Amino acid sequence: MKRRDATSERRRTNDSQKKLHRELTNPVSTPTLRNDLMVPLLALLCLLFVGCASPPPPNPISIDEPKALQIAQQAIASQDPWMIDRVEFDKPQQNQDGSWVVLARRLPKHLGGRRIIVIDPSGRVIAYNRSR
């Protein structure tokens, strides 16, 4: 009786080892819906994020050199009104981004009499610097 039990035990062990071997070497051949959709869904989300990041619209208002000089004069009149009748302006310089830089000097020239005015393309003063 013991021999028959030992033989049946070996068969059961062999059967379970074979079954385990089959499961490990032959994974389930039908992929789940979750795995099928995960990669395309992630790719679609990435494309949406990249596609939605559009550049800002170009600024339709762009000022010219005389307008930049006029805005710089107004900035000096509001910031340093005592200086407006004693100032000379260099030719305004336009940056690549469309902004303007205007250098103003107090007359007679002396230390601390320079002003640097930066104007954005729409005509707004974005910096007013006094030199020391």
Domain assignment of residue 12, yes or no? yes
Are residue 126 and residue 95 in the same domain, yes or no?
Answer: yes
Domain assignment of residue 59, yes or no? no
Are residue 17 and residue 39 in the same domain, yes or no?
Answer: yes
pLDDT at position 109: 84
Number of domains the chain contains: 2
Domain assignment of residue 22, yes or no? yes
Are residue 48 and residue 69 in the same domain, yes or no?
Answer: no
pLDDT band at 126 (very low <50, low <70, confident <90, very high): very high
Give percent of the chain above pLDDT 90: 38
Which domain CATH number covers 113? Answer: 3.10.450
Are residue 45 and residue 84 in the same domain, yes or no?
Answer: no
pLDDT at position 100: 95
Q: What is the pLDDT of residues 40-86, one digit of tens each?
A: 777 777 776 766 666 666 655 789 999 999 999 999 999 999 888 89
Cα→Cα distances 65→93, 95, 96, 124, Å: 8, 12, 14, 14
Residue ranges of E strands in the chain: 87-89, 93-94, 100-106, 114-119, 125-130
Domain assignment of residue 79, yes or no? yes
Domain assignment of residue 124, yes or no? yes
Range of the domain at 13: 2-52
pTM: 0.55
Max avg pLDDT among 7-16, 19-28, 102-111 = 102-111
pLDDT at position 33: 56
pLDDT band at 10 (very low <50, low <70, confident <90, very high): low
